[in-house]
Structure formats: C-alpha cells, structure tokens
C-alpha cells in the first residue's frame, strides 16, 4: 500500500510542506549548532597547527601549554633543548590580553614565540615580528600593516597579518616575540609557559613533561567546555523537536485516516502494509527535511558571529538520523493504525 501512502502525502501536501520546512529548519539549526561546537575545536586546532611544533614541553602537573600552563623560567630552555630526540626547541608564552581602540576594548589571546623559530605562524602579509614592540595580528581584527595596536599599556607596531587566526570563540590571536610577550604580560620577567619542540624527546629533565598538539587544542578549548555542553543540550533538544514535528504530522495523518485504515483492513490489506505506508511517510518527510536542513544550514551559518564548521560526518549522519527520527516519530501513528477495528469501515458518514 505504499502507493496509497504516497498519494496521501500528495493529498495533504500543504501540511507536508509546512512539516518539511519546520523540520528542515530544526535540522539546519542542529547542523549549525553542531558546526558551532565543532568550530571551537577547528579554530583551536588551526591556532595550534599554525605554530608548527610537534609537541609542547610544560612543567609537570600543568594542564596544558597555554591557558592551563604553569609559567616557568626561560633559563630551562637550554636543558630541555639538549634532551635526546629534540631537534629544535623554542620558548613560547601565552597570555590573555585586552586591545584598546579609543574607548572600546576587546579581548585577544597573545602568543609569544621566536621570530624565526617554531611557534611563530606563517603570515599572509608583512613579516613575523622580530622586535619586542612588533606584532603580527589576526586578519579578523581588520588591522593593517604599519598601524599601531594598543595592547594593555603597550603600544605595538603591526608588522604582519596572520589569516583568520582565532581561538576561544573567535577571539583574535596576536603574535609577538617571546620577549615582547614577556614585556606585555610578565612585566619583562623571562618567564615562559611552554617550550615548543620539534622531534620526539626520549627523556626530559626532571619536573617537565611533554603534551601533544591534541592536548594543546584541549587546553585552548577548556574555557568553552560549558558553552559546548550547553550547545550539545540544545542540539539534543532540537532532535527531540524534530521527532515531535514529524511524529505529530504522522499521528495526525493516522487519526484522520482511521476510516481509510479500517476500509483497507476490511478488504484484506495486511496491517503490516498499512504500517509500512505510515512509516514510509515519516521517513520521506524526515529525509526531505534533512535535505532542506543541509541547504538551510549553508544559508544560516554565515549569519553567526562565530566559526561554524559542520563536520562531514554530521552531513553523512543526518540522513541516517532522519530515518531513525522518522521511524521513531511514526510509532504513535503506527500503534493507532494497528488498533483500528475494521468494523469501523461499516460506519456511516
């Protein structure tokens, strides 16, 4: 009776279109939220990758090389660099900073690294900073080479632009020399938060440990953990909303078609055929909504002031989830259809 189910969908096409658009919007929002949560990780990953190091050496017990670091004296760099297996080592430092522009201020994450060593990202314009009063900034700041940048009490000269370098929910990154960062954040004290290394250390001096790039990414993500959890909860709620929209459509359709089902049963149509028809309706609605959701997500994502990167696996999973949602949503309708007494067909108008 699949043809009857498809004809019924044509018959109720207005309601169907509304349900597909509604569910498609919900799917789109879910995709965008998934992309938003993933965007936090992507920007952190880009920042860490741009540093060009294999791993970070941090003080033992430190949670990470950036925000969870325990600053230590730069003098230990030589001991670490001499450890077997390390090809190159660079003193790195990180600190939260505030950029002022007139009366307004905005947050930035400041990284310090040697001008030509590991840890300094590639610039798309200009050059890497080589003096303590020079800085390379993220292109998202909208600044130009040669302009001054007021970071805290320090005035820095912009010498390079790093493309789309952000972390912590699109907070722009700025890159200084290690000395420049020490002046900005540590009052000129020769302190660093990690040592970026190339190579694989076989043994480190006591009191130090290695963390990989993934740990570095997680360190940058830690402040956003609550936000990611909240987004995940909202995404889950949206999946439930999708189930309810498709479910109510199928259930209403089943309620309105009780007489049809009774007639089908009375003329010998197996109940499983009726159920298959209803399930087909739910799956078709969910799949069309998923297709619409993908399109809408592309349109909605740029409207968000944060990085939205929908993972490919989310796109691949969406049709599968949509089918599951369709089947789950049709349960109430199916139960109603199964319970229909064929004697109802003998009723009058």
Interaction between residue 267 and other proteins (CB under 8 A): yes
By beta-carbon proximity to other proteins, the closer residue of 146 and 347 is 347
Work out whether 332 is an interface residue with other proteins (CB under 8 A): no
Task: Determine which residue in the list 82, 270, 289, 332 makes contact with other proteins, applying CB under 8 A.
Answer: 270
> Does the protein bind other proteins through residue 349 (CB under 8 A)?
yes
CB of 248 to other proteins, least distance (A): 19
DSSP class of residue 4 equals H
| Smallest distance, other proteins to C-beta of residue 347, A | 7
Interface with other proteins by CB under 8 A: which range of 37-45, 57-65, 241-249, 257-265?
Answer: 257-265
Which among 27-35, 157-165, 267-275, 316-324 is the span making contact with other proteins, rule CB under 8 A? 267-275
| Three-state DSSP state, 290 | helix
**How far is the C-alpha of 148 from the C-alpha of 164, rounded, in Å?**
19
The DSSP call for residue 344 is: G
DSSP letter (8 states) at residue 99: E
DSSP SS3 for 126: strand
Please report, in angstroms and rounded to a whole number, the separation of the first and last CA atoms in the chain: 24
Give yes or no for residue 10 binding other proteins (CB under 8 A).
yes
Which is closer to other proteins, CB of 4 or CB of 244? 4
Of 18, 295, 320, 343, the one binding other proteins (CB under 8 A) is 343
DSSP 8-state secondary structure symbol assigned to residue 243 = H
What's the rounded Cα separation, in Å, for the pair 253 and 230?
Answer: 35
- Positive or negative, the CA dihedral 20, 22, 28, 31 is negative
SS3 of 308, please?
coil
Among 106, 259, 313, 335, binds other proteins (CB under 8 A): 259
Out of 21, 227, 241, 269, the only residue in the binding site for other proteins (CB under 8 A) is: 269
- The minimum distance between CB 140 and other proteins, in angstroms, equals 54
98-106, 130-138, 287-295, 335-343 -> range binding other proteins (CB under 8 A): 335-343
Pairing of the two strands 191-192 and 125-126 = unpaired
Q: Is residue 302 within the footprint of other proteins (CB under 8 A)?
A: no
Three-point CA angle 84, 86, 89, nearest 5°: 135
User: Minimum CB separation from other proteins for residue 269, in Å?
Assistant: 4
| 260 near other proteins, judged by CB under 8 A | yes
Residue 252 lies near other proteins (rule: CB under 8 A): no
- The candidate with the shortest Cα–Cα distance to 221, out of 33, 37, 32, is 37
CB of residue 43 vs other proteins: minimum separation in angstroms? 51
Cα 334 to Cα 12, 240, 278, 325: the distances in Å are 18, 19, 7, 14
Pick the binder of other proteins from 265, 289, 294, 334 (CB under 8 A): 265
Length of the chain: 349
- The size of the interface with other proteins (CB under 8 A), counted in residues, is 28
Among 102, 268, 302, 305, the residue binding other proteins under the rule CB under 8 A is 268
- CB 56, CB 210: distance < 8 Å: yes
299 binds other proteins (CB under 8 A): no
The strand pair at 72-73 and 194-199 is best described as unpaired
Instruction: Pick between residue 14 and residue 116 the one whose CB is nearest to other proteins.
Output: 14
Asked whether position 227 contacts other proteins by CB under 8 A, the answer is no
CB 161 within 8 A of CB 145: yes
Residues that bind other proteins (CB under 8 A): 1, 3-4, 7-8, 10-12, 259-260, 263-271, 273, 341-343, 345-349
């Amino acid at each position: 009776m699949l043809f009857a189910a498809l004809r019924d969908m044509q018959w109720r096409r207005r309601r169907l279109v509304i349900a597909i658009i509604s569910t498609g919007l919900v799917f789109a929002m879910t995709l965008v939220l998934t992309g938003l949560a993933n965007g936090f990780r992507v920007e952190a990953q880009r920042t860490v990758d741009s540093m060009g190091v294999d791993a970070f050496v941090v003080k033992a017990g430190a949670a990470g090389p950036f925000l969870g670091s325990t600053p230590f004296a730069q003098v230990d760099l030589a001991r670490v660099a001499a450890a077997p297996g390390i090809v190159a080592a660079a003193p790195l430092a990180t600190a939260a900073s505030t950029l002022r522009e007139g009366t307004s201020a905005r947050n930035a994450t400041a990284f310090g690294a040697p001008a030509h060593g590991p840890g300094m990202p590639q610039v798309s314009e200009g050059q890497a900073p080589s003096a303590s009063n020079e800085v390379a900034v993220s292109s998202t700041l909208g600044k130009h080479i040669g302009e001054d940048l007021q970071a805290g009490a320090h005035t820095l000269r912009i010498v390079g632009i790093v493309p789309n370098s952000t972390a912590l929910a699109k907070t722009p990154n700025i890159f200084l020399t290690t000395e420049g960062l020490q002046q900005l954040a540590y009052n000129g004290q020769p302190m660093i938060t990690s040592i970026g290394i190339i190579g694989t250390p076989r043994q480190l001096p006591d009191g130090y440990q290695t963390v990989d790039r993934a740990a570095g990414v997680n360190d940058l993500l830690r402040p956003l953990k609550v936000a990611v959890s909240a987004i995940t909860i909202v995404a889950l709620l949206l999946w439930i909303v999708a189930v309810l929209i498709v479910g109510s459509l199928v259930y209403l359709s089943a309620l309105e078609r009780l007489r049809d089902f009774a007639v089908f049963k009375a003329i010998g149509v197996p109940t499983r055929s009726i159920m298959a028809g209803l399930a087909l309706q739910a799956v078709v609605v969910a799949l069309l909504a998923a297709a619409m959701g993908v399109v809408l997500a592309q349109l909605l994502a740029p409207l968000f002031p944060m990085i939205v990167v929908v993972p490919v696996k989310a796109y691949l999973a969406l049709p599968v989830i949509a089918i599951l949602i369709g089947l789950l949503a049709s349960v109430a309708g199916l139960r109603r259809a199964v319970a229909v007494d064929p004697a109802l067909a003998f009723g009058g108008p």
